[in-house]
């Protein structure tokens, strides 16, 4: 089959806020746009994704906000798909995959579903049926996600592993930038500053970080914790000790990573852990839980440390040891920056583009239409 070099692609993501998955989708869309592909982004009306996509010049189709079950939105979208049918319909979250299937049943296109979370519905039969019958390919962001999907009943041959991508800074920030950021956080040059990046959801393990900070107490009085990301709590100091600060959402990560000594990711569940990749790209050592896809990123005793999950004591002990060896922190940070190059945005875009071309060319299993 003659596969066109320029593809028509529709992306859908139903997230209300701009978190890691939405940022990855936008990064993919920007990379594909640079390669000349035609795209539309389907999102929720009034969402942060809608605002950002429009600001960055993407064509968008917004599902009406007054339609909580999206029945009307799916009908409107189906009419658009009939008028201009994309060759690829890529859903970047679970609800988006359901809507994509409903809107495109019977249309001559190929559906792709991304899986980036480690938890699945309790009814695995339903999950298996969904990903067998509603999409032609599943993108797993890690080997861990692929194996969990296979265990849940998704055919292995339908799954392609494409890790998240990151934009690697061409140069590392200088000492002046480090001091500027630390001063803005009321941290001194001699403080040992830990950073966490991510939403304040239970699986991110921020409670473990807070507990570890309290355990360190007298042994490491200069420890400071800086949280960045979507927060359910108001910003500002969270504890009377003044050792913890929450910054909220940060648009430019260059205003976060350069001020840190160590990036910690005490997650209780993690599909891949792209925040750890970003930290490594900025030359930081990483301390992460041995869960999900994190061991696929962090190489123990080379780019950082892997610790037991759900243990604030283990986290505190590891932080204390790391703080006493500045040479190892520097070495791990340098190694991590080199490793991060294997997860560049360009590589992620190329692998996804290749998958799209294989699908359009009929290179993956067909899906029975209902």
Say if CB 336 and CB 284 are below 8 A apart. Answer: yes
Q: How far apart are CA 246 and CA 248, in angstroms?
A: 6
Distances (CA, A) of 65 to 46, 71, 104, 125: 7, 11, 21, 31
pLDDT in tens, the chain (370 residues): 566 789 999 999 999 988 889 999 999 999 999 999 999 999 999 999 999 999 999 999 999 988 989 999 999 999 999 999 999 999 999 999 999 999 999 999 999 999 998 876 666 677 777 788 889 999 999 999 999 999 888 999 999 999 999 999 998 889 999 999 999 999 999 999 999 998 888 899 999 999 999 999 889 999 999 999 876 544 433 443 568 998 988 888 999 999 999 999 999 999 999 999 999 999 999 999 999 999 999 999 999 999 999 899 999 999 999 999 999 999 999 999 999 999 999 999 999 999 999 999 976 656 655 4
**CB atoms < 10 A from the CB of 118, how many?**
19
Angle between helices 71-83 and 94-104 (to 10 degrees): 60
Which residues, at least 6 apart from 75, have a Cβ–Cβ distance to it below 8 Å?
none
Q: How far apart are CA 41 and CA 218, in angstroms?
A: 51
Ordered structural domains, the chain, with CATH: 8-165+345-360 (3.40.50.2000), 175-342 (3.40.50.2000)
Token code pair at residue 130? 């969904």
């Amino acid at each position: 089959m003659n596969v066109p070099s320029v593809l028509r692609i529709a992306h859908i993501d139903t997230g209300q806020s701009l978190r890691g998955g939405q940022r990855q989708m936008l990064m993919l869309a920007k990379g594909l746009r640079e390669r000349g592909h035609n795209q539309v982004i389907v999102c929720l009306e009034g969402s942060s994704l809608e605002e950002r996509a429009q600001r960055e010049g993407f064509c968008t189709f917004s599902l009406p906000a007054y339609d909580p079950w999206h029945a009307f939105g799916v009908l409107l979208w189906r009419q658009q798909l009939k008028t201009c049918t994309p060759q690829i319909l890529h859903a970047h979250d679970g609800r988006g995959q359901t809507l994509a299937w409903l809107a495109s049943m019977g249309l001559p296109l190929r559906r792709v579903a991304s899986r980036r979370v480690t938890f699945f519905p309790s009814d695995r039969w339903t999950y298996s049926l969904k990903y067998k019958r509603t999409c032609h390919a599943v993108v797993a962001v890690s080997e861990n996600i692929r194996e969990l999907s296979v265990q849940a009943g998704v055919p292995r041959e339908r799954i392609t592993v494409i890790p998240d991508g990151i934009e690697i800074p061409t140069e590392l920030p200088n000492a002046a930038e480090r001091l500027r950021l630390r001063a803005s956080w009321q941290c001194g040059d001699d403080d040992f500053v830990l950073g966490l990046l991510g939403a304040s959801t239970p699986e991110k393990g921020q409670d473990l970080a807070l507990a570890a900070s309290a355990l360190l107490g007298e042994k490491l009085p200069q420890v400071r914790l800086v949280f960045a990301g979507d927060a359910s709590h108001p910003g500002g100091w969270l504890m009377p000790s003044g050792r913890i600060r929450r910054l909220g959402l940060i648009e430019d990560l260059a205003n976060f990573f350069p001020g840190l000594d160590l990036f910690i990711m005490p997650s209780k569940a993690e599909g891949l852990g792209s925040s750890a990749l970003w930290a490594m790209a900025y030359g930081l050592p990483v301390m992460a839980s041995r869960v999900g896809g994190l061991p696929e990123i962090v190489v123990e005793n080379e780019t950082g440390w892997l610790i037991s999950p759900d243990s604030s004591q283990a986290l505190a002990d590891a932080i204390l040891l790391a703080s006493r060896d500045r040479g190892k922190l520097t070495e791990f940070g340098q190694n991590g920056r080199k490793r991060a190059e294997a997860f560049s945005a360009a590589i992620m875009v190329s692998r996804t583009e290749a998958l799209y071309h294989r699908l359009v060319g009929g290179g993956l299993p067909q899906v029975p239409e209902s």
